[in-house]
Structure 1
Amino acid sequence: MSDALNYLVAARGDALGHYFKFLKDAGKYLDPKTRDLISVITKVHAQTEAGFKQYLTRALRDGVKPIEVIDALLMAFPALGLAKIVWAAEIILEMDMPEFRPENLTREATWHDVGPVERFQDGETARVPCDGRELFVYRKGEELRVYDSRCPHQVTNIPHLALEGTTLTCPKHHWKFDITTGECIAVGKEPLKRFETKVEGGRLFAYW
């Protein structure tokens, strides 16, 4: 939520609570993906950029595929019109999410070569490019954890300079993450996206 909405909840939560309960109950018989797509469409209709980014990232976390987002927007053409669909597409392009690039929209998940294991030092974090993504790799002993460099809030690409010790802070809205676990430890709630990993032939691979 925005700072302004948080303020109103703090000031008159008794009144706004009814509104939030209505929103929750209104979609309780829908599966999560359908509900997420409807939420995305409503934000496009209202042309609220922050809300669109918030619900778009939520939809992706809940398993909605990028191609399903595109199809939902196109199916809503009679209500949205071309101008609002283009508005949404411009925001998606600005967010520069690898999964929305045309060549990736229908691509199946696969293993990606992140680099030689010896490159990653015990107790340290590296930020590395890999097949169109930026990754944070944290090593503890023999365990290697690979995270998406993008904040789960509004997919801001977090730079390596944002890492102090084991705390990673998104520069946009100051969500803080423990890089050893990926958990969000301040401001927000969602953890960093973690990729499945394996080691073969002395090289680290991540799956997406």
Structure 2
Amino acid sequence: MSDALNYLIAVRGDALGHYFKFLKDTGKHLDPKTRDLISVITKVHSQTEAGFKQYLMRALRDGCTPMEIVDALLMAFPALGLAKIVWATDILLEMGIPEFSPELIAAAPQWRDVMAVADLADGEVQRVECSTRTVFVYRAGEAYQVYDSHCPHQVTNIPHLALEGLTLTCPKHHWKFDIRTGACIEKGEHPMKTFENRVEDGRLLALW
């Protein structure tokens, strides 16, 4: 929330509490994905960029697919109009979320080549450019972790220089992650996106 809302809650929480309870109760019979999609549409309608990004990320975390989000916007065309849908799409493109790329948005998950396992030493981390996304890869013995390089907060594409030892820090809002597990260990609460992986013929493959 904004500093202004935090202030009003602090000084008049008795009044604003009823409003937030109303908002919570209005969606209690909806599943999280439906609530999220409605919230995304309302933020596009009001053209609130920060709110749109916030609820867009929440929708993705709650299991909405990129195509469901696009369809929700198009279904709301009578209320939104083309100009607001284009406004939202421009923000989506600027955010650079790999899942919204034409190559991935309608593609079924598939095993993709990441790197040769011989190029990654035990305990080492590398940032690898693949054909459709960038990932961080961590090796612990014969086990591997493959993470999306985008921060789960506002999808900042985290550079390799943000890695210090086994801690990865997003340069935008300073969320810190343990590269061994992907867990957020400071500032935020959402872990890095992890991809299933396997080794075949000396190559590390990941599923996305």
TM-score, scaled to structure 1: 0.93
Say whether 1:185 aligns with 2:147: no
**1:59-74 map, 5 Å:** 59-74=59-74
Overall identity of the aligned pairs, in %: 73
Structure-2 residue corresponding to 1:139: 139
Q: Per the alignment, in what secondary structure is the counterpart of residue 135 of structure 1?
A: strand
Whole-angstrom CA distance in 2 between matches of 1:204 and 1:125: 14
* Structure 2 letter corresponding to 1:134: T
**1:37-52 map, 5 Å:** 37-52=37-52
Whole-angstrom CA distance in 1 between matches of 2:34 and 2:168: 33
Deviation per CA, 1:104-151: give whole Å up to 9, x if none: 221111011111111111112100011221100011111100000001
The Cα of 1:103 is off from its aligned counterpart by 3.2
TM-score, scaled to structure 2: 0.93
The more displaced of 51-60 and 14-23 is: 14-23
Q: Per the alignment, in what secondary structure is the counterpart of residue 196 of structure 2?
A: strand
Residues 1:186 and 1:19: Cα distance change in structure 2 (over 3 Å): farther
Structure-2 residue corresponding to 1:102: 102
* Structure 2 letter corresponding to 1:126: Q
The Cα of 1:160 is off from its aligned counterpart by 0.7
* Structure 2 letter corresponding to 1:184: C
Structure-1 residue corresponding to 2:93: 93
CA contact (8 A) 2:104 2:132 kept: no
Residues 1:18 and 1:118: Cα distance change in structure 2 (over 3 Å): farther
**Unaligned ranges ≥5, structure 1:** none
**1:152-163 map, 5 Å:** 152-163=152-163
Aligned residue pairs, count: 208
Residues 1:188 and 1:5: Cα distance change in structure 2 (over 3 Å): farther
Whole-angstrom CA distance in 2 between matches of 1:143 and 1:94: 35
**Unaligned ranges ≥5, structure 2:** none
The Cα of 1:18 is off from its aligned counterpart by 3.5
